[in-house]
Amino acid sequence: MHANLSALARDLGAFFTETLQARRAPRGSRREEGPEPNLGSDSRPGRAALRQGQGHRGHESPTETQNAPVHPSRSPAPGGSFLTPAPAEESRFNHLAQQLFALQFALNPPYRALCLARGVTPHRVSDWQEIPAVPASAFKEFAFTCLPESERTIRFESSGTTQSVRSQGHHSRESLRLYEASLLPWFQHHLLPETLQADNADPGHWDFISLTPPLAQAPRSSLVHMLDAIQRQPWFSQAGFVGRTGPDGTWSLDLGALEAAIQQAHTRSQAVTLAGTAFNWVHLLENPDVDRLRLPQASRLMETGGYKGRSRELSRDQLHKELSARLGVARENIVTEYGMCELSSQAYDQVAGGRCPQRVLRFPPWARVTVVSPETGLEVANGESGLVRVLDLANAFSVMAVETEDLAIRHPDGIELLGRNRQTEPRGCSLLSA
Amino acid sequence: MSLTLPQCYLADLPPEAQVTPALIRDAWLSVLRNREHYLVRRATSSILRDLESAAALWRAQDSPYRRLALDLGPAQTGFSAPILEEGLSQLFGSLTVAQLEAWVEQDLGHPSRLDAFCATGPERASHRRSKAVGPSALAHITAGNIPPAGVLNVVSGLLVRSAQFVKCAAGGSWVPRLFAHSLREINPHLGACLEIAEWPRERTDLTEALIADAECVTASGSDEAISALRSAVPVTKRFVAYGHRVSFAYIAADAMGPGQIETLAARAARDVCAWNQQGCLSPHVIYVQETGAEDFARHLAAALDAAEQTHPRGPLPDADAATIRSRRSFYEVRAAASRETRLWHSNPSTAWTVVYEANPQFQASCLNRFVYVKGVDALETALQGADRLRRHVSTVGLAASPAHASELAARLADWGVTRICPLGQMQDPPPLWRHDGRPALTDLVRWTDWEEEAPSHTHP
């Protein structure tokens, strides 16, 4: 691997840790959205600045609050907040993005060709927003990777029907290290906020169950890689995968195994973290024996991905409502994750147990999401919809800027997904049914 | 001159009014009764005159129907006013007594076939006379992607004297509804033999009520929608289906004479802009023979840019614009990596896109003025590239020298194309065209053959 890229990857890993710590560090009276459950979430930029320097905890002046200036989302408060970067962080982010762009431009031939076609070269870029984004669909045809072929030891593929061409993401041991450095803390922050609290740091109060097949049966799934990395963490005393891959590649659920795992958790008074795709969850709900399952108190669910025609489709709201009713899990303990094989970082729509007034997807501080108008390519205003574009520093060994095919509404502190996985790439003649 | 539409049809009801199965049954009863009174014994010539008069109401520049269609049509249909104007002028210009009479004669062999028993040569020779009778209750389930389809459905049903119920796709009833009102203005009795409504495909209870009282059902739409309807229509009823079709153009090398490229590009642009490619007759791909394909693509881009000034495409829903943007970006990456792909597009909008590729594989467009230009050495290569769509191609817009054209047409017919027309007229079929290769009126009627006694068989 290119020595400069390896060195930069180490810097990025350090940046992930430091920036998360810095954002979590109390500034003023309290954190804006702490990892603790039931903390009120206040996402308005500018609040932190007001609170900074207040000497007493838990009390804020209504007058000051009312006079709080409303900043646009990218005008951070002087000190930053959990949801908005401080100027120092923003400047470091920008610096790292530019360094990374120079290396990806040099090491990634199809990306370089695209940048040159757009007339963008590293010395012309002064802001991360100028870094050209690659369409996610192009991952189906081109290897957007900085890894030399000999180091591409792991390949992620997008899920999809057997006929469709799949997106590919290449990884090495080194790139997976950075991938995990991104995914683990952000998962922990949203699904297991209790484990972050100093007085509750005793690991192993949790069991982990994935409804997907295990890694050995789904070696190309980036989601299963992610869940595999998660289940190895000390937060869990037991972990298992209760999905199976059939001979035709489809995923099914072993309800007996799931029931046994839940029973074990009950016996040992453990709470459970369950993860699965939306269609995994629908398969579970369609099982006539699902009502036998009762999850231990405080258990939580992670739901991700689309349906891809593998089950009947429910709206997210309906799915969460049914999951809550049938499995006995409070709605605030059902967390939606948004990720894709072309990216290394994921977004979550709330901290488990939190009381977010509005559930919007948020990426970690080392990624930036932009919503662009499909008509003009320019960023839309808050409340408007467009295509999701993500700049993900954890994608150091691939391309960091990816424009997805997903439509979302821009909110001041995140995005609200409208639709996923539209098959816009040419599909040969299967488009007949379009 | 302003016009307020009276509430005559279910489609005239305010959006909050609910169509129910009971309303559909009542509507059938009423149109069937009116057919008995006003339509079933009417002479073909009188129906043709009324249809021509209704079409004439649309042709006049100050026509209130035309004004209404153009003023409110963009919001109702998504097409810009110039696109609607061009398409509707073409449609109503072709609805004349002469054209309609020719249609009856072409499909049924005799212009009076629907009025009385009559005979053509072979029938006379076998001492037979025949009469064609349309279904009493004719239901149309239309895809609603472009307005002319619904209007021509109504015309065909009137010609065969059916009571009709036109079910439009959600949001697709605007032009058929205005046409029904114009017909009603010319002859309220004819307009009363017709019902128009719209509901979404998911409302299968309403569609079932529609089918229950119909004698014959026509349907257009995706293969999936047709297949669902086919299983919903009992075998005792006639079902006439028009499934999904795609079209392409072919420009032979001998059409590309000196100075011709711009004319051809303008004609191709006209085909791409007509109804924004939404119809089954719009080209997805333009195959260009010999080396001029890339140059042609560049000229086509210029022609589409010029067309955007005079006939703007109009705004798109986010999802459709996103599809264009994502697909463009994909070809941008491909073009950056290879000389075999080139991309031209409007900027900064999604108004039009031209993708040139050397690869002759047919590529379905995402529509809304997104077109592929592909270079081929001969027609055969284009047909190989489109082979997987072989039974799904409707129209080929052809540009070739007259000497060469007949040879190409013969090959296209042999391959399975059902319509060949000059480049630039792909979306302008005459009313009497054989839709998907089938005679439309023939598919609707049943025949009564009357075998008369031959003179030699006289009884003693």
pLDDT in tens, B239-254: 999 988 999 999 999 9
Least confident range from A81-90, A181-190, B421-430: namely A81-90
Compute the distance between CA of residue A233 and CA of residue A236 in angstroms, rounded to an integer.
6
Asked if A162 has any chain B CB less than 8 Å from its own CB, the reply is: no
User: Residue A198 — very low, low, confident or very high, per pLDDT cuts 50/70/90?
Assistant: low
Asked if B350 has any chain A CB less than 8 Å from its own CB, the reply is: yes
Taking all residues of chain A, what is their mean pLDDT, rounded to a whole number? 83
pLDDT in tens, A33-69: 444 333 333 333 333 333 333 333 333 333 333 333 3
pLDDT of residue B454: 74
Asked if B340 has any chain A CB less than 8 Å from its own CB, the reply is: no
pLDDT in tens, B341-372: 999 999 999 999 999 999 999 999 999 999 99
Do B450 and B123 touch, CB atoms closer than 8 A?
no
* A432–B363 CB contact, under 8 Å: no
DSSP H helix total and E strand total for chain A: 10, 15
pLDDT in tens, A147-156: 999 999 988 8
Percent of chain B, pLDDT > 70? 98
DSSP H helix total and E strand total for chain B: 17, 14
pLDDT of residue B6: 87
Residue B3: partners with Cβ closer than 8 Å, 6 or more residues away: B64, B65, B67, B68
Residues in B closer than 8 angstroms to A399, CB to CB, are: none
Asked if A380 has any chain B CB less than 8 Å from its own CB, the reply is: no
The chain B residue lying nearest A403, using CA atoms, is B326
Least confident range from A26-30, B327-331, B372-376: namely A26-30
Exposure of A238 in the CB half-sphere (CA atoms within 13 A): 18
* B392–A434 CB contact, under 8 Å: no
Q: In whole angstroms, how far apart are CA A187 and each of A258, A361, B453?
A: 22, 13, 90
Asked if B370 has any chain A CB less than 8 Å from its own CB, the reply is: no
Does the pLDDT value for residue A202 go beyond 70? no
CA distance A202 to chain B (A): 47
pLDDT of residue A75: 39
The chain B residue lying nearest A144, using CA atoms, is B333
Cβ-count burial A226-265 (b if 16+ within 10 Å, e if not): bbbbbbebebbebbbbbbbbeeeeebebbbeebeebbeeb
User: Residue A305 — very low, low, confident or very high, per pLDDT cuts 50/70/90?
Assistant: confident
Does the pLDDT value for residue A433 go beyond 50? no
Asked if B322 has any chain A CB less than 8 Å from its own CB, the reply is: yes
pLDDT in tens, A275-292: 999 999 999 999 988 888
Compute the distance between CA of residue B70 and CA of residue B80 in angstroms, rounded to an integer.
8
pLDDT of residue A289: 87
Compute the distance between CA of residue A165 and CA of residue B419 in angstroms, rounded to an integer.
33
* A429–B388 CB contact, under 8 Å: yes
Do A166 and A327 touch, CB atoms closer than 8 A?
no
pLDDT of residue A71: 36
Taking all residues of chain B, what is their mean pLDDT, rounded to a whole number? 94
More confident residue, A101 or A297: A101
Compute the distance between CA of residue B426 and CA of residue B150 in angstroms, rounded to an integer.
18
The residue written with tokens 């948004």 in the block is A338
The vertex-A414 CA angle with A408 and A417, nearest 5°, equals 25
- Mean per-residue pLDDT, B180-190: 96
- Mean per-residue pLDDT, A73-99: 79
Compute the distance between CA of residue A42 and CA of residue B23 in angstroms, rounded to an integer.
52
Asked if B411 has any chain A CB less than 8 Å from its own CB, the reply is: no
pLDDT in tens, B248-281: 999 999 998 888 999 999 999 999 999 999 999 9
Phi, psi of A374, rounded to the nearest 5 degrees: -65, -25
Domains of chain B: 10-244+436-451 (3.40.605.10), 246-429 (3.40.309.10)
Does the pLDDT value for residue B1 go beyond 80? no
* A434–B389 CB contact, under 8 Å: no
* B361–A428 CB contact, under 8 Å: yes
Domains of chain A: 170-362 (3.40.50)
pLDDT of residue A166: 81
Compute the distance between CA of residue A273 and CA of residue A287 in angstroms, rounded to an integer.
20
* B388–A376 CB contact, under 8 Å: no
pLDDT in tens, A368-414: 999 999 999 999 999 999 999 999 999 999 999 999 999 999 999 89
CA distance B222 to chain A (A): 7
DSSP A42-110: ---TTHHHHHTT--STT---HHHHHT-----TTS--TT--SSS--HHHHHHHHHHHHHHHHHHHHH-HH
What's the predicted TM-score (pTM) here? 0.88
CA distance B20 to chain A (A): 26
pLDDT of residue A419: 72
Of the partner residues A137, A374, A405, the one whose CB lies closest to the CB of residue B318: A374
* B319–A110 CB contact, under 8 Å: no
Phi, psi of A253, rounded to the nearest 5 degrees: -120, 135
- Mean per-residue pLDDT, B185-213: 95
- Mean per-residue pLDDT, A201-230: 90
